Structures are given as C-alpha cells and as structure tokens.
Amino acid sequence: MGKGRLPRLSSFFPVALLACACVCQYVKEGKTPIQSLPLAIHFLWSSNAQPQGPFALMHEYSNETFLNAQRQLDEVAELMNLDAGIHERLRYPRKALIVSVPIKLDNGHTRVFMGYRVQHDLTLGPSKGGIRFHHDVDLGEVAALAMWMTWKCALLNLPYGGAKGGVACFPEEMSITELERVARRYTTEILSMIGPEKDIPAPDMYTNEQIMAWIMDTYSNFIGYAVPGVVTGKPIAVGGSLGRSEATGRGVAFTIKKALEKIDLGTDTPTVAIQGFGNVGSISAKFLHQMGFKVVAITDVEGGIYNPKGIDVPALLAYVKERGSVKGFKNCEVLGASEIFGLEVDVLVPAAIANVITEKNADAVKCKILAEGANGPVTPEADKILNDKGIFVIPGILANAGGVVVSYFEWNQNIQRLFWDEAHIVEKLEYLMGKGFDEMYNIYASKNVDPRTAAMMLGVGRVAEAKKLRGLYP
C-alpha cells in the first residue's frame, strides 16, 4: 500500500485504536482534543498502519519503562529542535537479540530461560551496559535501560554507546552452580555481540563480580586467550579495578554532596532516606554517613527501618551481611515499604527498581533533593509533580553514573595492562561526576528547564552531533 492511501478496512480498527491512544496521551499531557485530533488523522493517513514521528511504536519494545524513556527523549528533542531524522533513529535500539538460555537444573530437569542483549547506539564507540538476572526482565525494559545508558555515557563524555542485557529468571531461588550455567550459556548465545571493541557488559541487578568472571572466562575460551576487557566489574584477580564495586553508590553520594554546593538545606546534618539496600543503596548509605549525613530510614525487599536520630550505618552493614535484610535492626521503628516516600527528609534516594514514584504517590514526597540511585524510578507524570513541588531531582543518568565511569577506567586498564591505585580512581571519579553535575546545572539554571531535561539535553545533544557528522549509511 502506498503512502497517502487509507489502510484497508480489516487493518483500520487496530490503527484507529492506536490513534485514539495518541489523542488520549496528548490530552493527558495538557493538549486539547482539538489540538490532538489533526495529529491522529495524519497518523492514520501517513502509511500502511505504521505510526510515524512521535507516534512511532515498535510493538516488540512496548512496555511502560521503554515508553517512558521514549517520552523523555521526545520532550527533549522538541525543546532542542532536534533534526527529525536523527530523533527518529534515536528512538529505537540499533540492535536487539533475544535468545533461549537452556540449562540443566541441579535436580536433573532442563529449564529454558529467556535472555536479551540490546545495543541502543554505537555512534560514539562500543556499547556499554550491565547484565541483570531478574524475573521481570523483558525486551522493553532492557531497551529502555540501554537508551538511558547512551545518554549517561554521553553526559559524562565517555566514548561509549548504551547497551543492556539480562536473563528472565529467579536468581534468589537458584544454586551457585545453576547461576554459573545460566551465565555461561547466556554468554555463549550473545557471543557474536560482545567484545572489548564491540560491547562490554558489567554487573547489574542480581549479578556480581563472580558472574562477570564466568562471562570473561567463557568468552576467553572461545577466543583462545584471556580477554579481560570483554567485561567490567570483575574480581581484582582477573583484571578488575580497585573501587569498581563501590563506584555507583559512591557516585550517588558525590552528586548529592555536589548538589549541596548549590542548594542550601539550612542544616549541617541533612537527613536521608534510602529505598533499596542492595549494592547501590548500601554503598550510598555508607559514604553519605561518612560525609556527615544522617541516614534515618532504609527499606529493602523484606521490610523497612526508621530512626529519626539516625541509623548506625556501619553496624547495619554488618547486620545485613549476616542476616540478609535490614528487617529487625536494633533501635529502629518498623517502616512500611511505601511509607519511605512520604517521610520529611532532606534527601531521598530511590535505589531499587524503576517506576516506584508515580503520579499516584509523587504528591506525598516531601524531600528537598531526590537522587536517582536506580534507573528510571520516577515516571514522567511523577517528574512533573516533583518539579512543581520544587524538588531538585538528580537524574539517574547522572546520579548513578559512577559505575560506568569506573567501568571505563577498568576497561582502559585492561587494554593498557596498566593498573591504577584506588586513590587515583576515586579522585578521577569525583572529578568526572562533579564536572557532569556542573554542566547539567549550568543548563538547568540558564535554560530554565528541570535537571533531568538539562542532563538529557547534554547527552542527547552530544550523540546527535556525532550522528550528524557521521551521516547515515548507506
């Protein structure tokens, strides 16, 4: 069917539904039905049931997190007057792979898990991004995380594009041998996509340095010699970097400290609440405590604790290492998982999963600074509410970028076979995080936009400029 002809009646109904959804979305965002209707009509007329421009949707990626990532890009593209062709290219991943990951369980049965690897963009260099093991992993989520990694790397001026990967499984229910089989088989299935000059994975949710060691070993066995640069976040003994395991949480703490240079909270001991106490949340708590912040509330998957006088963070870290949860820690009140968002604190750090602060609970948030330790914890609708309330949001593409910064250091050390001391790594990390914050804040202050938009304008702008210079092949 040629462009400019209406679709056949058999295909009209699903297209009309999509057009109605577009109208509803724009009405929800503040446009009138009259303003939205011509756009929907154009969509119906423009091609063979394939939405164009801001309505484009590849159903393979259709999930809430990916749509949120696209909407963030669309809003920034409009503000920047971004070239339409470059905008369209940036809305979708460059490459996506779905694989079966069959393994033999300890009980002798065979189980097949679904695995994913997505490369969003390769304009600035090889792609970079973590691998997560979690039952909610799907293609849309991985594609969204890969897109955010692209902006994150560009914002920090790292020579990478964004990638992400994962296996949909229940790692907390699996033995160490079953996890090893998943890691090695998944690596084998994505072997064609990864490599030190192509795509460099790293740890993410429910993966760690041991899993990175198995991935490095599997890849190296296929290549025929040790290739430590294929992954980052490895153990020190096989080419890992000092400071990598604490880099993301340390980076969160650095950006919060930097924000206090611009925002006067009226206290020398700001209060902090942290949602999520995995690697990012626990390390953030550790360094914020060392910097003189008062951590008063923490939640994890099993429960929450609250002490307005301040939690003994070093003792809590030892307790969690032994017990596996913050639940039941001494001298603390029990705190419900959702109650943490409504506490009157100076700083809130959501450091668990995406989409936890939505239009339903954003109005209850009472912090002055919100630092996104997790990827995408605030939905676009909630973002607008927080901005209207005057809450300064440090976006995840900056706040949690410490991990990829030190991964970049590790990758460089692997390529050069020259390793740095930890003091040098921490100094360089703080410098790059501070530089990124200052650049973001300058745009926030001069362009009269919110901090997330300012950070996105930097990241998207750098990728778009590189795409413009490189052109479109063929």
In Å, how far from its chain's centre is CA 249? Answer: 14
Count CB atoms within 10 A of the CB of residue 384.
16
Structural Rg of the chain based on CA atoms: 23
Token pair for 435: 């530089």
- Widest Cα–Cα separation across the chain: 71
Q: Is there a contact between 162 and 148 (Cβ–Cβ < 8 Å)?
A: yes
Q: Is there a contact between 326 and 305 (Cβ–Cβ < 8 Å)?
A: yes
The β-bridge partners of 116 are 98, 166
**Dihedral angle over CA of 366, 291, 456, 471, nearest 10:** -170
72: left (phi over 0), alpha (psi -120 to 50) or beta: alpha
Q: Is there a contact between 178 and 108 (Cβ–Cβ < 8 Å)?
A: no
How many CA atoms are closer than 13 Å to the CA of 337, on its beta-carbon side?
A: 11
How does DSSP classify residue 359? T
DSSP string across 431-461: HHHHHHHHHHHHHHHHHT--HHHHHHHHHHH
User: Annotated catalytic residue: which of 95, 104, 152, 164?
Assistant: 164
Q: Is there a contact between 327 and 302 (Cβ–Cβ < 8 Å)?
A: yes
Q: Determine how β-strand 110-119 pairs with β-strand 369-371.
A: unpaired
**Which candidate, 444, 433, 431, 378, places its Cα nearest to that of 401?**
433
| Catalytic site includes residue 468 | no
The backbone torsions φ and ψ at residue 133, rounded to the nearest 5 degrees and listed phi first, read -110, 110
Q: Determine how β-strand 199-203 pairs with β-strand 347-350.
A: unpaired
What span, in angstroms and rounded, lies between the C-alpha atoms of 214 and 186? 11
How does DSSP classify residue 243? T
Amino acid identity for residue 291 in this structure: M
What positions carry a catalytic annotation? Answer: 164
